[in-house]
Structure 1
Amino acid sequence: MEIDIATIGGYEEVGRQMTAVRAGDDIVVFDMGLNLSKVLIHDNVETERMHSLDLIDMGAIPDDRVMSDLDGEVQAIVPTHGHLDHIGAISKLAHRYDAPVVATPFTIELIKQQIESEEKFGVGNDLVKMDPGESMEIGNGLDLEFVNVTHSIIDAINPVLHTPEGSIIYGLDKRMDHTPVIGDPIDMDRFAEIAREGEGVLCYIEDCTNAGRKGRTPSEQHARNHVKDVLYSMEDYDGGIVATTFSSQIARVTSLVEFAKDIGRQPVLLGRSMEKYSGTAERLDFVDFPDDLGMFGHRQSVDRTFKRIMNDGKENFLPIVTGHQGEPRAMLTRMGRGETPYQLDEGDKVIFSARVIPEPTNEGQRYQSEQLLGMQGARIYDDVHVSGHLSQEGHYEMLQTLQPHHVVPAHNDLEHLARYIDLAEDQGYELGRDIHASRNGNVISLVE
């Protein structure tokens, strides 16, 4: 069976992930993501109202025109998890393909919301839920399986396409967390079984984000303990405390909510994406928040909440807000610019339970946000966080477990891909033989 891999997006940058695998006459597309930094660099861009071709020209979504070079029919679109760099282009591109979107329940719910807000295209693709650990027949002689992994969002999987030539594992994004705060640990036993089945692992496509970082990525339990330590150290502080994290990091939000209660403060979630992700997780029973936890996304309701906090006393509340990357329209950035009723005073604490995404736009915006907060007297607690991506020891363990015949580094620029190539070569792989460095728009032929 002929096997091709089209590296469509995410092979030259962080964001807009999209990869297609052709096995015989059947094609499976993994991820359709957005490069948010290409949007944020423009003022007042609303992607819901934009045409896909304009977004492609901006570098915001994958240029999927290379799909015309693949001789087959798309059987499924398979996003790995609900981050925008993996699902943010589905509402712009999925309607071009007569194929269902297959994903875990939480991811499907986020995709539904994205499709409902789309104003330019009608997306009629079937949305099919499949849980981690399940599989389905797809195309002619192929099986699609979801292996549970742990990441900085709940309900994440690594999809596996089983072909007569061996398995193809799409390894974006994960960390090796054996003690997650929410959900099950990474299923390393199943990865090991796949490596021993049939023809083994034909190809492993892997995220290179932390390939240059030594050691292993800590568990989310480590971040939970860090959050606890920081908040407990502020128990006697009688001024304002504000926290920000990834809205999709439900485990981290849960920890912030719990420890805010422990130190006698009322947590409140503020910002559109904070309300969206936490509200969805609660509706689907992934988390059980306190009954009195407020979630407010619309600008007017957020400002009303800020006024109530100021009237009742900042010392009684912990606002958990959007804006960890310094996004221009996010809550924390507005607070830094003095555009909300919340008044920051000298000595107030701002906790960044998030790391800057290593991309120039994000780094610049985060720097500006911290400077604005500091000018108002806020004291910054930085990097109360653990990454959602494998570091070097995790990469070594995956390669040793899977023993793939071919490796394709992905999810970053060429500098980060080079770090993964060095790591893989330490394990006996060779660039140009069984390591395939690629760029957006290329096609790799594995079996001819």
Structure 2
Amino acid sequence: MEIEIATIGGYEEVGRQMTAVRAGNDIVIFDMGLNLSKVLIHDNIRTEGMHSLDLIDMGAIPDDRIMSDLEGDVKAIVPTHGHLDHIGAISKLAHRYDAPVVASPFTIELVKGELADEQKFDSGNDLVKMDAGETMSIGDSGKVELEFVNVTHSIIDAINPVLHTPEGAVVYGLDKRMDHTPVIGDPIDMKRFREIGREGEGVLCYIEDCTNANKKGRTQSENVAREHLRDVLYSMEDYDGGIVATTFSSHIARVKSLVEFAKDIGRQPVLLGRSMEQYSGTAERMGFAEFPDDLGMFGHRNSVDRTFERIMNEGKEDYLPVVTGHQGEPRAMLTRMGRGETPYELDDGDKVVFSAGIIPEPTNEGQRYQAEKLLGMQGARIYSDIHVSGHLRQEGHYEMLDALQPKHVIPAHQNMKGFSGYVDLASNQGYKLGRDLHVTCNGNLIQIV
């Protein structure tokens, strides 16, 4: 059976992931993501009303026109998890394919939200939920099967999809860290990865997320970030001024820890920002996380400002707002607070806790720097990087190669500089550039079989 891989997006940057795998006449698309930095660099752009071709020209979503060079039919669109760099282009591109979107339950709910917000295109794609550990047949040949393997990442309900073919398995390894003690959900299923590496024809090809491939050592568990956060917030227990925290809205485990520790130090937590309300509200509704009955979640701008007014009237020392803006996004709550555009007034000595790292991309780095400076000019004390990454470092990559023993490897989710650490690691394990180690870019086709 011919196996061909189209590297459509995410092979020259961190963002707009999209990969297609053709097995015979059956094609499966993995991820359809947005490069948010290409949007945020423009003022007041709303992607909901934009045409896909304009977003492609901006570099914001994958250029999927190479799909016309693949001979076969798309049978499924499979996002690995709910981050926008993996699902943010589904509303713009999925309608071109007569195929269902197949994803884990939480991811499907987030895709529904993206489709509901879309103003330009109507998607008729079926939305199919599949849990980690389950499989489904792809196409009519009976020879190709899709499997979801549970992984741990900085969002709940993440999976790595595996396409089983007569020539071996194609493992799409975006995104994960090797967390054996997660705060929410099950540990990464390394047992299943080792089985896949040793059963049948083994692993034909492994497509790997290289976000942290240039960093030595091992990515720590979310439990490490939780204890770091506990230590920081407990140290503020006797402070009688304002404390504000920010993290990834999609990082439900981190939000849960912030809410819990706010209560521990005698403050009322409140979640502020549209995405904060969306992600945590969805997680609570689906039973992935439990929050206190009195936890307020406010997404609309007017509701947020009214909440800020209430906090100022009743006393900042009694509240801990958890807000959007960890990357310094211009329209996010924290950036507006730094510019003095909200009713919440920062005073000298007030604490701002960034429980998030900087996404390694120049736009984010510049915006985060600017946001921290604005907050500091208002007298805020900054607590940075109370965080662990959701991506493997080098020792995790080594463990995955050892578990899967793939015949071919394709680095993804970075640019050429970001691939370098992974290329060195894979080369040391016997892989050779141009033979079975395929460093590629967006818009390429790789014939594996």
Q: TM-score range by the shorter chain?
A: over 0.9
- Shift in Å at residue 31 of structure 1? 0.1
Deviation sequence 1:272-326 (CA, Å, 0-9, x none): 0000000000000000100000000000000000000000100000000000000
Aligned counterpart for 1:420 among listed residues 396, 419, 422: 422
Aligned residue type for 2:377: M
Q: Runs of 5+ in structure 2 lacking a partner?
A: none
Give the equivalent residue in structure 1 for 2:284: 282
* Equivalent position to 1:210, from 203, 208, 212: 212
Give the counterpart of 2:231 among 229, 245, 251. 229
Alignment map for 1:233-312 (pairs within 5 Å): 233-312=235-314
Partner of 1:132: 132
- Residue aligning to 1:439: 441
2: CA distance, partners of 1:352 / 1:32: 28
2-structure distance, mates of 1:67, 1:192: 32
Q: Give how far 1:417 is off.
A: 1.2
After superposition, give the CA deviation of every residue in 1:178-214 in whole Å (9 maximum; x if it has no partner): 0000000000000011111110000000000100111
Instruction: Tell me which amino acid in the other structure corresponds to 2:163.
Output: L
Secondary structure of 1:209 counterpart:
coil
Report what 1:103 is aligned to. Answer: 103
Q: Does 1:382 align with 2:399?
A: no
Give the C-alpha shift of residue 176 in structure 1: 0.1
2:56 counterpart of 1:56: yes
The SS at the match of 2:448 is strand
The answer for the alignment partner of 1:364 in structure 2 is 366
For the residue of structure 2 that corresponds to 1:214, the secondary structure is coil
Q: Secondary structure at the match of 1:14?
A: coil
The equivalent of 1:22 in structure 2 is: 22
Secondary structure class of the residue paired with 2:232? helix
Cα distance in 1 between the residues matched to 2:228 and 2:307: 28
* Separation (CA, whole Å) in 2 of partners of 1:340 and 1:423: 48
Aligned counterpart, 2:3? 3
Cα distance in 2 for residues equivalent to 1:241 and 1:222: 22
1:43-70 deviation digits (Å, cap 9, x = unpaired): 1100000000000000000000000000
**How far apart, CA to CA, are the structure 1 residues paired with 2:428 and 2:310?**
58
Poorly superposed stretches of 4+, deviation over 2 Å = none
Q: Within 2, Cα distance between the matches of 1:338 and 1:423?
A: 47
Query: Could you tell me which residue of structure 2 aligns to residue 74 of structure 1?
Result: 74
Aligned residue runs from structure 1 range 86-165, under 5 A: 86-139=86-139, 140=141, 141-165=143-167
Partners in 2 of 1:389 and 1:217 — Cα distance? 7
Cα shift at 1:242: 0.2
CA distance in 2, matches of 1:103, 1:381: 36
Q: How far apart in 2 are the matches of 1:228 and 1:424? A: 38
State the partner residue of 1:198.
200
- The superposition leaves residues 300-357 of structure 1 with CA deviations (integer Å, 9 ceiling, x where unpaired) of 0000000000001000000000000000000000000000000000000000000010
Number of aligned residues: 447
Secondary structure of the 1:440 match is coil
Give the one of 301, 314, 317 matched to 1:315.
Answer: 317
SS in 2 for 1:145: strand
Whichever residue aligns with residue 83 of structure 2, its letter is: H
Write the distance in 2 (CA, Å) between the matches of 1:143 and 1:133: 13
CA distance in 1, matches of 2:246, 2:80: 25
C-alpha deviation, 1:220, in angstroms: 0.2
**Percent identity of paired positions between Structure 1 and Structure 2:** 81
Q: Is residue 242–residue 351 contact of structure 2 (8 Å, CA) maintained in 1?
A: yes
TM-score for the superposition, normalised by structure 1 = 1.00
* Partner SS for 1:4: strand
Query: Do the aligned partners of 2:214 and 2:420 also contact (CA within 8 Å) in 1?
Result: no
TM-score, scaled to structure 2: 0.99
Deviation at 1:428, TM superposition (A): 1.1
- Residue 347 of structure 1 corresponds to 349
1:105-150 C-alpha deviation (Å, 9 max, x unpaired)? 0000000011001000001100000001100111121100000000
Instruction: List aligned pairs for 1:38-49, cutoff 5 A.
Output: 38-49=38-49
CA shift, 1:243, in A, is 0.2
Hey, what's the Cα distance between the residues in 2 that align with 1:388 and 1:203? 23
Q: Distance in 2 between matches of 1:163 and 1:359?
A: 36
1: CA distance between counterparts of 2:218 and 2:281?
Answer: 32
Alpha-carbon separation, structure 2, partners of 1:136 and 1:410:
25
The residue matched to 1:420 in structure 2 has which SS?
helix
